[in-house]
Structure 1
Protein backbone atom coordinates (compact mmCIF):
# COMPACT_ATOMS: atom_id res chain seq x y z
CA UNK A 1 0.00 0.00 0.00
CA UNK A 2 2.80 2.40 0.84
CA UNK A 3 4.44 1.97 -2.58
CA UNK A 4 1.71 3.81 -4.46
CA UNK A 5 2.61 7.51 -4.76
CA UNK A 6 -0.05 10.06 -3.87
CA UNK A 7 -0.09 13.78 -4.73
CA UNK A 8 -1.28 14.50 -1.19
CA UNK A 9 -1.22 12.76 2.18
CA UNK A 10 -4.17 10.41 2.62
CA UNK A 11 -6.07 9.44 5.74
CA UNK A 12 -6.57 5.74 6.41
CA UNK A 13 -8.72 3.77 8.81
CA UNK A 14 -7.14 0.55 10.08
CA UNK A 15 -9.74 -1.79 11.55
CA UNK A 16 -7.73 -3.98 13.91
CA UNK A 17 -9.44 -5.79 16.80
CA UNK A 18 -6.99 -6.52 19.60
CA UNK A 19 -6.44 -10.24 19.90
CA UNK A 20 -3.57 -12.47 18.66
CA UNK A 21 -0.12 -10.86 18.59
CA UNK A 22 0.51 -11.93 14.99
CA UNK A 23 -2.60 -10.03 13.89
CA UNK A 24 -1.84 -6.82 15.76
CA UNK A 25 1.81 -6.86 14.63
CA UNK A 26 0.73 -7.25 10.99
CA UNK A 27 -1.78 -4.42 11.11
CA UNK A 28 0.55 -2.21 13.13
CA UNK A 29 3.29 -2.71 10.54
CA UNK A 30 0.95 -1.56 7.77
CA UNK A 31 0.08 1.52 9.82
CA UNK A 32 3.74 2.40 10.35
CA UNK A 33 4.57 1.85 6.66
CA UNK A 34 1.85 4.28 5.60
CA UNK A 35 2.95 6.83 8.19
CA UNK A 36 6.52 6.54 6.86
CA UNK A 37 5.15 7.63 3.47
CA UNK A 38 3.59 10.73 4.99
CA UNK A 39 0.01 9.48 5.36
CA UNK A 40 -2.22 9.66 8.44
CA UNK A 41 -3.53 6.46 10.00
CA UNK A 42 -6.22 6.02 12.63
CA UNK A 43 -6.30 2.52 14.10
CA UNK A 44 -9.76 1.55 15.36
CA UNK A 45 -9.33 -1.24 17.87
CA UNK A 46 -12.22 -3.10 19.48
CA UNK A 47 -10.64 -4.65 22.59
CA UNK A 48 -11.49 -8.20 21.59
CA UNK A 49 -8.83 -9.73 23.84
CA UNK A 50 -7.55 -6.97 26.15
CA UNK A 51 -4.98 -9.28 27.75
CA UNK A 52 -3.03 -9.11 24.47
CA UNK A 53 -1.99 -5.61 25.53
CA UNK A 54 -0.61 -4.31 22.21
CA UNK A 55 -1.93 -2.72 19.03
CA UNK A 56 1.29 -3.37 17.10
CA UNK A 57 1.99 0.34 16.58
CA UNK A 58 2.82 3.35 18.74
CA UNK A 59 2.74 5.83 15.87
CA UNK A 60 -0.81 5.59 14.59
CA UNK A 61 -3.59 7.43 16.41
CA UNK A 62 -5.61 4.80 18.23
CA UNK A 63 -9.32 4.74 19.00
CA UNK A 64 -10.23 1.88 21.33
CA UNK A 65 -13.69 0.37 21.66
CA UNK A 66 -14.93 -1.55 24.74
CA UNK A 67 -15.04 -5.33 24.75
CA UNK A 68 -18.49 -6.75 23.99
CA UNK A 69 -20.11 -9.31 26.31
CA UNK A 70 -19.41 -12.27 23.99
CA UNK A 71 -15.74 -11.32 23.67
CA UNK A 72 -15.43 -10.96 27.45
CA UNK A 73 -16.76 -14.48 27.83
CA UNK A 74 -14.26 -15.69 25.24
CA UNK A 75 -11.43 -13.98 27.11
CA UNK A 76 -12.41 -15.71 30.34
CA UNK A 77 -12.68 -19.09 28.60
CA UNK A 78 -9.22 -18.74 27.08
CA UNK A 79 -7.69 -18.46 30.54
CA UNK A 80 -8.76 -22.02 31.27
CA UNK A 81 -7.21 -25.24 30.03
CA UNK A 82 -8.69 -26.05 26.63
CA UNK A 83 -10.07 -22.58 25.90
CA UNK A 84 -11.64 -21.65 22.58
CA UNK A 85 -8.41 -21.02 20.66
CA UNK A 86 -6.47 -23.92 22.16
CA UNK A 87 -9.35 -26.27 21.35
CA UNK A 88 -8.92 -25.37 17.68
CA UNK A 89 -5.14 -25.77 17.44
CA UNK A 90 -4.90 -28.79 19.74
CA UNK A 91 -7.74 -30.79 18.25
CA UNK A 92 -6.67 -34.45 18.24
CA UNK A 93 -9.45 -36.01 16.22
CA UNK A 94 -8.32 -34.52 12.89
CA UNK A 95 -11.94 -33.69 12.14
CA UNK A 96 -12.78 -30.59 10.18
CA UNK A 97 -16.18 -30.55 11.85
CA UNK A 98 -14.66 -30.69 15.32
CA UNK A 99 -12.17 -27.93 14.52
CA UNK A 100 -14.83 -25.72 12.95
CA UNK A 101 -17.23 -26.22 15.85
CA UNK A 102 -14.49 -25.23 18.30
CA UNK A 103 -14.15 -21.94 16.42
CA UNK A 104 -17.85 -21.07 16.37
CA UNK A 105 -17.71 -19.14 19.69
CA UNK A 106 -14.81 -17.08 18.29
CA UNK A 107 -16.67 -16.08 15.12
CA UNK A 108 -19.88 -15.52 17.09
CA UNK A 109 -18.00 -13.09 19.33
CA UNK A 110 -16.65 -11.29 16.24
CA UNK A 111 -20.19 -10.88 14.93
CA UNK A 112 -21.51 -9.66 18.27
CA UNK A 113 -18.66 -7.18 18.59
CA UNK A 114 -19.40 -5.76 15.14
CA UNK A 115 -23.14 -5.57 15.86
CA UNK A 116 -22.45 -3.50 18.97
CA UNK A 117 -20.25 -1.13 16.96
CA UNK A 118 -22.83 -0.72 14.18
CA UNK A 119 -25.56 -0.03 16.74
CA UNK A 120 -23.45 2.63 18.49
CA UNK A 121 -24.39 5.89 16.77
CA UNK A 122 -21.80 7.85 18.77
CA UNK A 123 -18.80 5.86 17.54
CA UNK A 124 -20.22 5.70 14.00
CA UNK A 125 -20.61 9.48 13.91
CA UNK A 126 -17.13 9.93 15.36
CA UNK A 127 -15.51 7.68 12.75
CA UNK A 128 -17.57 9.13 9.92
CA UNK A 129 -16.42 12.60 10.97
CA UNK A 130 -12.80 11.58 10.39
CA UNK A 131 -13.51 11.59 6.62
CA UNK A 132 -11.19 8.73 5.70
CA UNK A 133 -9.81 8.39 2.17
CA UNK A 134 -9.33 4.65 2.50
CA UNK A 135 -9.30 1.74 4.93
CA UNK A 136 -7.88 -1.73 5.43
CA UNK A 137 -8.63 -4.77 7.57
CA UNK A 138 -7.80 -8.48 7.75
CA UNK A 139 -9.63 -10.88 5.47
CA UNK A 140 -11.28 -13.11 8.06
CA UNK A 141 -13.35 -10.37 9.73
CA UNK A 142 -15.72 -9.53 6.88
CA UNK A 143 -17.90 -7.37 9.13
CA UNK A 144 -15.23 -4.68 8.85
CA UNK A 145 -16.28 -4.12 5.24
CA UNK A 146 -19.84 -3.48 6.42
CA UNK A 147 -18.46 -0.86 8.80
CA UNK A 148 -16.51 0.76 5.96
CA UNK A 149 -19.67 0.89 3.85
CA UNK A 150 -21.60 2.53 6.70
CA UNK A 151 -18.80 5.09 7.11
CA UNK A 152 -18.91 5.90 3.40
CA UNK A 153 -15.42 4.53 2.69
CA UNK A 154 -15.28 3.28 -0.90
CA UNK A 155 -11.57 2.47 -1.16
CA UNK A 156 -10.30 -0.36 1.01
CA UNK A 157 -7.85 -3.24 1.04
CA UNK A 158 -7.87 -6.67 2.67
CA UNK A 159 -4.71 -7.81 4.42
CA UNK A 160 -3.45 -11.30 5.14
CA UNK A 161 0.06 -12.53 5.90
CA UNK A 162 -0.42 -16.24 5.27
CA UNK A 163 -0.95 -18.48 2.24
CA UNK A 164 -4.27 -18.72 0.45
CA UNK A 165 -6.58 -21.21 2.10
CA UNK A 166 -10.06 -22.62 1.50
CA UNK A 167 -12.23 -19.52 1.55
CA UNK A 168 -9.63 -17.64 -0.45
CA UNK A 169 -9.86 -20.04 -3.39
CA UNK A 170 -13.16 -18.55 -4.55
CA UNK A 171 -11.60 -15.09 -4.68
CA UNK A 172 -8.28 -15.98 -6.33
CA UNK A 173 -9.59 -18.70 -8.63
CA UNK A 174 -6.98 -21.17 -7.37
CA UNK A 175 -8.12 -24.82 -7.50
CA UNK A 176 -8.86 -26.60 -4.23
CA UNK A 177 -6.64 -29.68 -4.56
CA UNK A 178 -8.01 -31.55 -1.57
CA UNK A 179 -6.42 -34.88 -2.50
CA UNK A 180 -3.00 -33.73 -1.29
CA UNK A 181 -3.31 -30.15 0.05
CA UNK A 182 -4.55 -30.28 3.67
CA UNK A 183 -7.14 -27.71 4.67
CA UNK A 184 -6.74 -25.30 7.56
CA UNK A 185 -9.67 -26.92 9.38
CA UNK A 186 -8.08 -30.39 9.48
CA UNK A 187 -5.12 -31.85 11.31
CA UNK A 188 -3.81 -33.84 8.32
CA UNK A 189 -0.47 -33.69 6.54
CA UNK A 190 0.30 -34.02 2.82
CA UNK A 191 -0.01 -37.82 2.95
CA UNK A 192 -3.61 -38.80 3.65
CA UNK A 193 -5.63 -41.99 3.63
CA UNK A 194 -8.70 -42.16 1.43
CA UNK A 195 -10.92 -41.41 4.43
CA UNK A 196 -8.78 -38.43 5.39
CA UNK A 197 -8.94 -37.11 1.83
CA UNK A 198 -12.72 -37.36 1.98
CA UNK A 199 -12.74 -35.54 5.32
CA UNK A 200 -10.40 -32.93 3.85
CA UNK A 201 -12.78 -32.46 0.92
CA UNK A 202 -15.76 -32.14 3.26
CA UNK A 203 -13.97 -29.38 5.16
CA UNK A 204 -14.44 -27.14 2.12
CA UNK A 205 -18.14 -27.06 2.89
CA UNK A 206 -17.45 -25.53 6.29
CA UNK A 207 -14.81 -23.08 5.12
CA UNK A 208 -16.63 -21.82 2.02
CA UNK A 209 -20.24 -21.35 0.96
Structure 2
Protein backbone atom coordinates (compact mmCIF):
# COMPACT_ATOMS: atom_id res chain seq x y z
CA UNK A 1 0.00 0.00 0.00
CA UNK A 2 2.88 2.36 0.83
CA UNK A 3 4.47 1.69 -2.56
CA UNK A 4 1.18 2.50 -4.28
CA UNK A 5 0.84 5.76 -2.32
CA UNK A 6 4.40 6.84 -3.13
CA UNK A 7 3.90 5.97 -6.80
CA UNK A 8 0.71 8.03 -6.92
CA UNK A 9 2.46 11.07 -5.36
CA UNK A 10 5.36 10.81 -7.81
CA UNK A 11 2.96 10.47 -10.73
CA UNK A 12 0.94 13.48 -9.57
CA UNK A 13 4.10 15.61 -9.40
CA UNK A 14 5.03 14.62 -12.97
CA UNK A 15 1.58 15.64 -14.26
CA UNK A 16 1.91 19.34 -13.45
CA UNK A 17 1.07 21.53 -16.42
CA UNK A 18 3.16 24.34 -17.83
CA UNK A 19 2.72 28.00 -16.92
CA UNK A 20 1.97 30.18 -19.94
CA UNK A 21 2.12 33.96 -20.15
CA UNK A 22 -0.01 35.13 -23.05
CA UNK A 23 0.65 38.69 -24.22
CA UNK A 24 -2.34 39.83 -26.26
CA UNK A 25 -2.25 43.17 -28.06
CA UNK A 26 -5.66 44.83 -27.70
CA UNK A 27 -5.90 45.96 -31.33
CA UNK A 28 -9.26 44.43 -32.11
CA UNK A 29 -11.93 42.11 -30.80
CA UNK A 30 -10.81 39.27 -33.07
CA UNK A 31 -7.25 39.38 -31.71
CA UNK A 32 -8.45 39.34 -28.09
CA UNK A 33 -10.88 36.49 -28.84
CA UNK A 34 -8.13 34.53 -30.63
CA UNK A 35 -5.76 34.70 -27.66
CA UNK A 36 -8.64 34.05 -25.27
CA UNK A 37 -9.36 30.81 -27.12
CA UNK A 38 -5.70 29.82 -26.86
CA UNK A 39 -5.78 30.50 -23.10
CA UNK A 40 -9.01 28.52 -22.69
CA UNK A 41 -7.58 25.54 -24.60
CA UNK A 42 -4.43 25.56 -22.46
CA UNK A 43 -6.42 25.70 -19.22
CA UNK A 44 -8.71 22.90 -20.46
CA UNK A 45 -5.57 20.82 -21.10
CA UNK A 46 -4.43 21.29 -17.48
CA UNK A 47 -1.99 24.18 -17.85
CA UNK A 48 -1.91 27.57 -16.12
CA UNK A 49 -2.43 30.53 -18.45
CA UNK A 50 -2.28 34.21 -17.57
CA UNK A 51 -3.12 36.81 -20.19
CA UNK A 52 -1.91 40.42 -20.23
CA UNK A 53 -1.99 43.00 -22.99
CA UNK A 54 -1.88 46.60 -24.07
CA UNK A 55 -4.53 49.26 -23.84
CA UNK A 56 -4.74 52.22 -26.17
CA UNK A 57 -1.62 53.17 -28.11
CA UNK A 58 0.66 50.12 -28.09
CA UNK A 59 4.12 51.74 -27.88
CA UNK A 60 3.54 54.10 -24.93
CA UNK A 61 1.69 51.37 -23.05
CA UNK A 62 4.48 48.88 -23.77
CA UNK A 63 7.10 51.35 -22.52
CA UNK A 64 5.02 51.85 -19.38
CA UNK A 65 4.74 48.09 -18.78
CA UNK A 66 8.47 47.51 -19.28
CA UNK A 67 9.30 50.36 -16.87
CA UNK A 68 6.87 49.11 -14.20
CA UNK A 69 9.24 47.37 -11.77
CA UNK A 70 6.40 45.93 -9.66
CA UNK A 71 4.74 44.36 -12.70
CA UNK A 72 8.02 42.92 -14.02
CA UNK A 73 8.93 41.54 -10.57
CA UNK A 74 5.47 39.98 -10.17
CA UNK A 75 5.66 38.36 -13.60
CA UNK A 76 9.21 37.14 -12.91
CA UNK A 77 8.06 35.58 -9.61
CA UNK A 78 5.44 33.55 -11.50
CA UNK A 79 8.28 31.66 -13.24
CA UNK A 80 6.49 31.12 -16.53
CA UNK A 81 7.62 28.24 -18.73
CA UNK A 82 6.36 29.58 -22.06
CA UNK A 83 5.33 32.94 -23.51
CA UNK A 84 2.86 33.38 -26.38
CA UNK A 85 2.43 36.64 -28.28
CA UNK A 86 1.35 38.01 -31.64
CA UNK A 87 4.23 38.04 -34.09
CA UNK A 88 3.98 41.66 -35.19
CA UNK A 89 3.92 43.11 -31.65
CA UNK A 90 7.44 43.24 -30.23
CA UNK A 91 6.33 44.22 -26.72
CA UNK A 92 5.49 40.63 -25.79
CA UNK A 93 8.98 39.49 -26.79
CA UNK A 94 10.56 42.35 -24.80
CA UNK A 95 8.59 41.40 -21.68
CA UNK A 96 9.47 37.71 -22.11
CA UNK A 97 13.16 38.65 -22.39
CA UNK A 98 13.03 40.96 -19.39
CA UNK A 99 11.41 38.40 -17.07
CA UNK A 100 13.49 35.46 -18.30
CA UNK A 101 11.06 33.43 -20.42
CA UNK A 102 13.32 31.63 -22.87
CA UNK A 103 10.67 29.60 -24.69
CA UNK A 104 8.10 31.52 -26.69
CA UNK A 105 5.50 30.87 -29.33
CA UNK A 106 4.54 33.34 -32.05
CA UNK A 107 0.87 33.36 -32.99
CA UNK A 108 -1.18 35.09 -35.68
CA UNK A 109 -4.82 36.06 -35.42
CA UNK A 110 -4.80 36.70 -39.19
CA UNK A 111 -3.26 35.02 -42.20
CA UNK A 112 0.54 34.94 -42.25
CA UNK A 113 1.92 38.07 -43.91
CA UNK A 114 4.45 37.67 -46.70
CA UNK A 115 7.46 39.21 -44.97
CA UNK A 116 7.12 36.73 -42.11
CA UNK A 117 6.10 33.61 -44.04
CA UNK A 118 9.21 33.41 -46.23
CA UNK A 119 11.75 32.98 -43.36
CA UNK A 120 9.63 30.09 -42.05
CA UNK A 121 9.57 28.44 -45.49
CA UNK A 122 5.80 28.78 -45.75
CA UNK A 123 4.40 29.28 -49.25
CA UNK A 124 2.43 32.50 -49.48
CA UNK A 125 1.80 32.86 -53.20
CA UNK A 126 -0.43 35.88 -53.86
CA UNK A 127 -2.08 34.16 -56.81
CA UNK A 128 -3.98 31.87 -54.43
CA UNK A 129 -3.33 33.16 -50.88
CA UNK A 130 -5.47 36.24 -50.16
CA UNK A 131 -3.78 39.34 -48.82
CA UNK A 132 -4.28 40.44 -45.25
CA UNK A 133 -6.38 43.43 -46.34
CA UNK A 134 -8.90 41.39 -48.34
CA UNK A 135 -12.21 40.42 -46.82
CA UNK A 136 -13.89 37.10 -47.40
CA UNK A 137 -16.13 38.73 -49.98
CA UNK A 138 -13.41 40.61 -51.90
CA UNK A 139 -13.24 39.74 -55.56
CA UNK A 140 -9.70 39.86 -56.85
CA UNK A 141 -9.38 40.64 -60.52
CA UNK A 142 -6.79 39.14 -62.84
CA UNK A 143 -4.89 42.44 -62.88
CA UNK A 144 -4.71 42.44 -59.07
CA UNK A 145 -3.37 38.87 -59.11
CA UNK A 146 -0.68 39.83 -61.64
CA UNK A 147 0.20 42.94 -59.61
CA UNK A 148 0.56 40.98 -56.34
CA UNK A 149 2.51 38.19 -58.05
CA UNK A 150 4.91 40.75 -59.53
CA UNK A 151 5.40 42.27 -56.07
CA UNK A 152 6.12 38.82 -54.63
CA UNK A 153 8.72 38.01 -57.30
CA UNK A 154 10.29 41.44 -56.90
CA UNK A 155 10.56 41.08 -53.09
CA UNK A 156 12.12 37.61 -53.47
CA UNK A 157 14.76 38.98 -55.86
CA UNK A 158 15.79 41.60 -53.29
CA UNK A 159 16.58 38.91 -50.72
Q: TM-score higher than 0.5 here?
A: yes
Separation in 2, partners of 1:147, 1:135: 9
Partner of 2:25: 17
Q: Give 1:28's aligned residue.
A: 36
Runs of 4 or more above 3 Å deviation:
174-188, 193-205
C-alpha RMSD over aligned residues: 3.3
1:156 and 2:107 matched: no
CA 201–36 in structure 1, closer or farther in 2 if over 3 Å, else same = closer
Flag the structure with higher helix content: 2
Task: Tell me, in whole angstroms, the C-alpha distance in 2 between the residues paired with 1:197 and 1:23.
Answer: 26
Deviations 1:100-157 (A, max 9, x none): xxxxxxxxx4233222211222211121111111111112212211210111001111
TM-score by length of 1: 0.55
Give the 3 Å change call, closer, same or farther, for CA 179–12 of structure 1 in structure 2: closer
For structure 2, the 5+ residue unaligned runs are 1-13
Moved more, 14-23 or 191-200: 191-200
Which ranges of structure 1 fall in alignment gaps of 5 or more residues?
1-5, 49-108
Distance 1:179 1:9, change over 3 A: closer
The number of residue pairs the alignment matches comes to 141
